[in-house]
Amino acid sequence: MSDVAITLSIIGLALVLFAWNPVPAVVVAIGASLALYFTGVLTMPEALTGFGDPVVVLIASLLAIAVAVELTGVGAWAGQLLLRRTGGSQTTLVVALMVVAAIFSGLIGMNGAVAAMLPVTVIIAVRTGTPPSLLMIPLALACLKGAKLTLLGSPVNVIAATQADEAGAGHIGFFEWAILGIPQLAGAILIVVFLGKRLLPVRQSESIPADFSGHAQTLVQHYNLEHGLHRLVVPPTSPLVGTARQALDLAAYAGLRAVAVLDHEDDRPLERDALEAGDLILVRGDGHEVDRLAADLRLEVREHGAEAALGDVLLSRDSGLAEAVVPERSAMIGSTVFPGMTSADHEVMVLAVQRGGAELVRPRLTLRSGDHLLLQGSWPALERYLSSAQLIVIDSPDEVRTQAVALGRGAKRVFAILALLVVLLVFDITPAPIACLVCACLVVITRVVRLPQVYRGIDWNTVLLIGAMIAPARAMEKSGAAGMIGDHIVSLLGDLGPTAVLTGLFLAATIITQFISNTSTALVMMPIAFATASDMDVSALPMVMSVAMGASASFLTPFANGVSLMVYGPGGYRFGDYWRIGVPVLIWTMVVTVVVTPLYWSF
C-alpha cells in the first residue's frame, strides 16, 4: 500500500471520526499523527513536530492575551457603552453589538471575543427584554466575520499566513485580511438586520449564563448589610490614627459589627494596614452603641446624605464580594469567626455569616457545615483564599468581576499591550509568534493576570488540536497526496481558468469545515492549495486565501467551531437553527471571496 493511500485513508478515517464524534477531537487528531508514524509515512520528529510549531505557540499566546482582556472588564465596559449609546432601537443595538464583537475578534481572536462578549450579550438580552435567540447567532457571526479583519482573528489566518511565508508564496499583511473581511462583515450585518427576524427563532434559553451586573447589590440585600449601617469618620484627633485596622475592637459594643474600612482618598475598601485621618469606618448595629463607640474613640458620625450605594463601594475595580459555603469535612468546621474579623494578612474581611438563611449576629460564632460566609477583599486576595478546598465558592470571583467591573484594574495595561502587539505585527518588527509570546508574557509580568488564571483561561483543546493536525497536513505534502488531489482539481476545473479552481477550493474547504474544526480543515486543505497553484503555474496566495475563507465558513452547524458552539446553549438553539441564516451568509462569503480575492491577490 502506497504512502498516498495510507495517508488518505488515515485522514479520511479521522474526518469521519471528527464528524461522528465518538471520542474527543483531540484524541482523533493525536491518533492520526501516531498512525502516520506507525505506518512509516512520518518519522518520529515529523509526527511530533506540530506540538512545537510556531503556529501552536502563537495561538496559545493569543488565548492568554484574550484571558487578560476578558478578566479586566473590557467586555463589561463595551456592554455598558452599547446600552447607553443605542437607545431603545433593537436594530441599532444588534448592529452595534456585531460591530463591537467583530472589532474584539480582530484584536483578540474569535474565541476570546465570544468569551468576552457572551456575558455582555446576556446582560443586553435581560435588560432589553430581547429573546437571546435573536442575539446569540448574530454575535457568533460577528465574531466569525471579525476574525477576517486581522491576522490575529483566527487560527486559520495564522496557519495560512505562516504556510504562505514558509512556502515562499508571499506575505499576507496584518490588516490585509480586512480586504475580504470588511465586505463579509458588512454583508453579514445586513443579512441579520433584514432577514434575522424571519430566519432566527424566537426562543428563550434554559441555560443562559448568570447576569452578575447587579451582583453586589443582590448580596447587600440578601445579607441585609444596609440595615442599621452607620458611617464613622476618623478625625486627626482620634486615637485610631496610625493604628492597624485589626486594632478596631468592637467586642465591648453589643451588636456592633464592622462592614468595611474605606480609604479617605477614594472611598474604596482600605488596602493599607494603618488607619489615617479621614478614613471611613462602616459599622452595623444599634445607634446608641454607635454613639458610645464614637465618643470613646473620638470618631465623627457622618450623615448618609448622597453616599454611594454600599454595593458600589464594596465591589469595585480594586475589591470585590464573594459568597462561600463551609462544606462537609472542611477544616474550618469548629473555627471561631465573627463579622468584621479579617484574615491573618488583613486582606479579606468577614462581612456576615448566615445559617439556614438567617444571619448570625452573636459576637463569636463556631462554624458548622453549611454555613454561608460573605467575604470582602481585593480580587487577588479573594481568589487566593477561595482556591482552598475548605470553602465552596457560590459564584466565581473571576466571573463576577468580568461582568460587574468595567475597565477594572489592569485595563489600561491591556490596551497598551494590545497596541504594542499591533505595532509589532503591522510593521513586521518581529515574527508573529515572537510578538504574541512577548505580549502574553507582559500580561503576567505587569500583573494584569496571574499565571493560574492564564492556565485556566486557555482553551487547551484548541492548542493541542492544532498541534496534532500539523503532522497529517505534512503527510499530505510528503506522501504526494496533496499533489495528486491538486492534479485532479486542475484536470476537472483547470480549463475553466484559475477563478473556477479558486471557487472549487473554496467549496471543498466549506463542505469539510461544516463537519470538522476550521483549523483541521485549513491544515488538510493548504497543501492542496499550494499543489494546485503549482500545477497551474499561478500565484499560490489567491488559492491560500480561498481555502482560508472556505475553512472559516462553518456557519451551517453549531458544532464546527467553538464560537457557534458557545452560543448554542445561551441562545436556546436547536441544530437546524443555524443553516437558515447560515446559507445566505455562506453565499455572500463565497461571492466576496471569488470576486475580490483575484482583484487584490492576482494570479
DSSP-assigned beta bridge partners for residue 229: 284
pTM over 0.75: no
Highest averaged pLDDT of the listed ranges 34-48, 333-347, 356-370? 34-48
State which of 261, 285, 312 marks the end of a domain: 312
Torsion of CA 357, 362, 363, 368, to 10 degrees: -50
Q: What is the mean pLDDT of the chain?
A: 82
**pLDDT > 70? residue 32:** yes
State which of 344, 364, 394 marks the end of a domain: 394
**Residue 557 belongs to some domain of the structure:** no
**Residues above pLDDT 90, as percent of the chain:** 13
Q: Where are the beta strands (DSSP E) in 379-491?
A: 392-393
Neighbours of 355 (CB within 10 A): 14
Residue with cell 442575539: 135
Give residue 88's pLDDT band: very low, low, confident or very high (50, 70, 90).
low
- What are the grid coordinates assigned to 559, written together? 458544532
**pLDDT > 70? residue 299:** yes
The reported pLDDT for the residue numbered 208 is: 62
**Residue 326 belongs to some domain of the structure:** yes
**Residue 91 belongs to some domain of the structure:** no
The reported pLDDT for the residue numbered 466 is: 74
The reported pLDDT for the residue numbered 486 is: 64
Whether residue 299 sits in one domain with residue 349: no
**Residues above pLDDT 70, as percent of the chain:** 93
The reported pLDDT for the residue numbered 238 is: 87
**pLDDT > 80? residue 314:** no
Non-local (6+) Cβ contacts of 185 within 8 A are 98, 102, 142, 145, 146, 148, 149
Q: Write the pLDDT tens digit of every residue in 434-486.
A: 888 999 999 999 988 888 888 887 778 777 877 887 788 778 778 877 667 76
Non-local (6+) Cβ contacts of 485 within 8 A are 528, 531
The distance of Cα 35 from the centroid of its chain, to the nearest Å, equals: 34
DSSP secondary structure of 437-464: HHHHHHHHHTTSS-HHHHHHHS-HHHHH
Whether residue 299 sits in one domain with residue 222: yes
Q: What CATH number corresponds to the domain at position 256?
A: 3.30.70.1450
Q: Write the pLDDT tens digit of every residue in 261-272.
A: 888 777 777 777
- What are the grid coordinates assigned to 523, written together? 491544515
**Residue 401 belongs to some domain of the structure:** no
Q: Write the pLDDT tens digit of every residue in 521-549.
A: 888 788 888 888 888 888 889 999 999 99
The reported pLDDT for the residue numbered 520 is: 74
**Residue 244 belongs to some domain of the structure:** yes
Asked if 128 and 164 count as a contact pair (C-beta separation under 8 A), the reply is no
Task: Tally the domains of the chain.
Answer: 2
Give residue 210's pLDDT band: very low, low, confident or very high (50, 70, 90).
low
**Residue 503 belongs to some domain of the structure:** no
Asked if 319 and 401 count as a contact pair (C-beta separation under 8 A), the reply is no
**pLDDT > 70? residue 94:** yes
Indicate the angle between helix axes 460-479 and 155-166, nearest 10 degrees. Answer: 30
DSSP secondary structure of 29-49: HHHHHHHHHHTTSS-HHHHHG
Whether residue 361 sits in one domain with residue 345: yes
The reported pLDDT for the residue numbered 186 is: 95
Which residues form the domain of 241?
Answer: 215-312
**Residue 285 belongs to some domain of the structure:** yes
Whether residue 308 sits in one domain with residue 322: no
188 closest CA partner among 94, 116, 114, 93: 94
**Residue 337 belongs to some domain of the structure:** yes
Assign 325 to helix, strand or coil.
strand
- What are the grid coordinates assigned to 551, written together? 475553512
Residue 286 to residue 173: CA distance in whole angstroms: 68
Q: Write the pLDDT tens digit of every residue in 228-270.
A: 778 888 888 888 888 887 777 777 787 777 777 888 777 777 7
The reported pLDDT for the residue numbered 144 is: 92
Q: Write the pLDDT tens digit of every residue in 162-208.
A: 888 888 888 888 889 999 999 999 999 999 999 988 898 887 766 56
| Residue, of 340 and 32, whose pLDDT is higher | 32
DSSP-assigned beta bridge partners for residue 284: 229, 257
Non-local (6+) Cβ contacts of 106 within 8 A are 146, 147, 149, 150, 152, 153, 178, 181
DSSP-assigned beta bridge partners for residue 233: 280, 300
Whether residue 308 sits in one domain with residue 222: yes
Q: Write the pLDDT tens digit of every residue in 2-19.
A: 888 888 888 888 878 876
State which of 394, 422, 449 marks the end of a domain: 394
Non-local (6+) Cβ contacts of 200 within 8 A are 133, 134, 137, 138, 192, 577, 580, 581
Asked if 466 and 55 count as a contact pair (C-beta separation under 8 A), the reply is yes
Q: Write the pLDDT tens digit of every residue in 332-344.
A: 888 888 777 777 7
Whether residue 285 sits in one domain with residue 259: yes
Residue 6 to residue 446: CA distance in whole angstroms: 49
Whether residue 264 sits in one domain with residue 235: yes
The reported pLDDT for the residue numbered 308 is: 59
Highest averaged pLDDT of the listed ranges 25-34, 109-118, 334-343? 25-34
DSSP secondary structure of 253-316: STT-EEEEEE-TTTSSB--SSB--TT-EEEEES-HHHHHHHHHHTT-EEEP-TTPPPHHHHHSS
| Residue, of 488 and 87, whose pLDDT is higher | 488
Whether residue 331 sits in one domain with residue 302: no
Indicate the angle between helix axes 74-85 and 411-426, nearest 10 degrees. Answer: 100
Whether residue 375 sits in one domain with residue 339: yes
The reported pLDDT for the residue numbered 19 is: 67
Distances (CA, A) of 284 to 118, 266, 297: 38, 21, 17
Whether residue 267 sits in one domain with residue 229: yes
Whether residue 347 sits in one domain with residue 299: no
The reported pLDDT for the residue numbered 209 is: 60
Whether residue 322 sits in one domain with residue 296: no
